[in-house]
């Protein structure tokens, strides 16, 4: 498997994995507080599950295998699609309204620009329920809340909407091959080439100016809203803009307005998303560390109507960001207590270790005559020798029995 390390130039280590494990635990804990339950999907999926759905995973990036029956399978290239399929199938037997699930799973792709990295871990959520400003804003708030949990102090969630640009394209009657070029220009904010490109198309001047304005609509939500009002051309576009305004109003009630900006040039995966789309950035990381959006039409592939919204973190990129900003704290005690003992006190020491482990503490034991690993850090050190004593906070304290040891551990946990 791909080693879970912060710096790809270094060998993986137990310590690196503990940092990753702590990160995943933080994500799972926060997802749970918003009512989400963890699920898992199969690592191997039918190729047909992905090949029939456009606007999602590039088919050339899928890692394909053939099973013993000759059926083409793929290593899971995406998480949202199988979860949507699972939810649609479950709807046939029970209601799926207000279904909240989260996952921590590997996805497998072979992109040309990242040939040596075919496996990535994603942690994300999917909310299946009514499309309302409140549900959209709560999902955005969960992303914001999680980034705060991880210790990031300077981050932004960029919010856009897939519908606004789609409506302009529909009015312009742009052909698919022309749309691909235009999407590329807008995503790169190449305003110098957008204008001459549009002038070569049979589009009226007002519509050209509206499309040209899209990549420039970035920044403070209130300012972007005022800019967007100038390009509204019909009731559908007005409803889309009102949806963004309503979501922003709910975010203000969450007191999260300082964490978001609007980016109406955020139009990636046009065929996948149907409403609000967003991505999260932290300082000094050029790629988004989370991406998400609303995809109300994906379940149509399974003959069901299930509105949905979700987002995912890329764990390896998140680890890199934590490390770069000094937030990946590694020098934590590896265990709660180390017990050293003379062989004549082995029975007492091992019984104490058993009782402490039963109480849920992490304990390691060593005979004093052996060589002990120097990196075994602990809150407490216990010695069963001529005297029995516990060392904590640079103090040597004698104790009578294991019950006193447990009391000391509990006291330290309460104070820390």
For the chain, the residue count is 416
1 pLDDT above the threshold of 50: no
Per-residue burial over 372-400, b = 16 or more CB atoms within 10 Å of its CB, e = otherwise = eeeeeebbbebbbeeebebebeeeeeeee
Residue-level pLDDT at 9:
42
pTM: 0.83
The crossing angle, in degrees rounded to 10, of helices 14-33 and 133-149 is 150
Alpha helices, DSSP H only, in 127-234? 133-149, 162-172, 176-187, 191-199, 205-213, 221-229
How far apart (Å, rounded) are the C-alpha atoms in residues 205 and 384? 86
> How confident is the model over 1-24, as a mean pLDDT?
63
The crossing angle, in degrees rounded to 10, of helices 133-149 and 235-253 is 40
In this structure, what token pair is assigned to residue 42?
């199969």
> How confident is the model over 316-340, as a mean pLDDT?
83
Phi-psi sector, 49: left (phi>0), alpha (psi -120 to 50), beta: alpha
The per-residue pLDDT for range 55-89, each reduced to its tens digit, is 667 788 889 999 889 899 999 988 988 998 888 87
Residue-level pLDDT at 51:
76
Give the range among 39-43, 283-287, 375-379 with minimum mean pLDDT: 375-379
Task: Beginning with the edge strand found earlier in the chain, give each strand of the sheet holding 37-38 in spatial order.
Answer: 37-38, 99-108, 119-128, 308-314, 290-294, 276-282, 155-161, 260-263, 218-219
Residue-level pLDDT at 270:
58
The per-residue pLDDT for range 122-154, each reduced to its tens digit, is 999 999 999 999 999 999 999 999 999 999 989
Residue-level pLDDT at 170:
87
Percent of the chain exceeding pLDDT 90 equals 46
> How confident is the model over 172-186, as a mean pLDDT?
86
What is the CATH class of 14-324?
alpha beta
Residue-level pLDDT at 55:
61
Q: Sorting pLDDT into bands at 50, 70 and 90, what band is 220?
A: very high
Give the range among 66-70, 216-220, 269-273 with minimum mean pLDDT: 269-273
What is the CATH class of 335-415?
alpha beta
Residue-level pLDDT at 279:
96
Give the range among 47-51, 177-181, 226-230, 324-328 with minimum mean pLDDT: 47-51
Give the range among 117-131, 266-280, 323-337 with minimum mean pLDDT: 323-337
**What is the domain partition of the chain in residue ranges?**
14-324, 335-415
> How confident is the model over 246-270, as a mean pLDDT?
92
Q: Sorting pLDDT into bands at 50, 70 and 90, what band is 316?
A: very high
Q: Say whether 143 sits in a helix, a strand or coil.
A: helix
406 pLDDT above the threshold of 70: yes
Q: Sorting pLDDT into bands at 50, 70 and 90, what band is 6?
A: very low
β-strand partners of 46: 73
375 pLDDT above the threshold of 60: no
How far apart (Å, rounded) are the C-alpha atoms in residues 50 and 78? 9
Instruction: Say how many C-beta atoms besides its own lie within 10 A of residue 178's C-beta.
Output: 16
Residue of higher predicted confidence among 227 and 17 = 227
């Amino acid at each position: 498997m791909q080693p879970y390390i912060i710096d790809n130039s270094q060998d993986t280590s137990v310590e690196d994995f503990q940092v990753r494990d702590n990160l995943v635990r933080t994500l799972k804990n926060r997802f749970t507080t918003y009512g989400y339950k963890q699920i898992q999907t199969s690592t191997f999926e039918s190729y047909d599950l992905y090949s029939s759905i456009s606007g999602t995973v590039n088919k050339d990036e899928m890692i394909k295998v053939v099973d013993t029956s000759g059926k083409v399978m793929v290593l899971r290239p995406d998480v949202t699609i199988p979860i949507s399929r699972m939810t649609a199938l479950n709807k046939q037997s029970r209601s799926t309204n207000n279904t909240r699930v989260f996952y921590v799973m590997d996805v497998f792709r072979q992109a040309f620009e990242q040939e040596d990295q075919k496996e990535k871990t994603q942690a994300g959520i999917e909310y299946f329920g009514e499309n309302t400003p409140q549900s959209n804003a709560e999902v955005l708030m969960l992303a914001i809340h999680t980034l705060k949990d991880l210790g990031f102090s300077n981050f932004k969630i960029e919010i856009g909407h897939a519908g606004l640009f789609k409506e302009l394209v529909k009015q312009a009657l742009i052909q698919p091959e022309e749309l691909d070029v235009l999407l590329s220009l807008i995503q790169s904010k190449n305003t110098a080439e957008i204008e001459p490109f549009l002038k070569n198309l049979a589009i009226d001047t007002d519509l050209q100016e509206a499309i040209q304005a899209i990549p420039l609509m970035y920044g403070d939500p209130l300012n972007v809203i005022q800019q967007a009002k100038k390009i509204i051309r019909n009731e559908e576009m007005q409803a889309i803009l009102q949806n963004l305004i309503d979501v922003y109003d709910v975010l203000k009630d969450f007191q999260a307005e300082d964490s978001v900006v609007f980016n109406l040039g955020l139009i990636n995966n046009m065929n996948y998303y149907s409403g609000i789309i967003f991505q999260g950035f932290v300082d000094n990381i050029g790629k988004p560390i989370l991406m998400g959006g609303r995809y109300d039409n994906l379940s149509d592939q399974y003959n069901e109507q299930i509105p949905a919204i979700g987002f995912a973190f890329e764990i390896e990129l998140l680890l890199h960001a934590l490390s770069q900003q000094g937030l990946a704290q590694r020098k934590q005690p590896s265990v709660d207590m180390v017990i050293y003992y003379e062989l004549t006190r082995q029975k007492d020491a091992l019984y104490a270790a058993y009782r402490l482990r039963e109480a849920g503490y992490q304990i390691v034991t060593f005979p004093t005559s052996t060589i002990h690993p120097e990196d075994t850090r602990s809150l407490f050190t216990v010695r069963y020798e001529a005297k029995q004593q516990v060392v904590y906070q640079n103090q040597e304290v004698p104790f009578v029995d294991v019950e006193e040891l447990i009391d000391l551990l509990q006291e330290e946990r309460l104070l820390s």
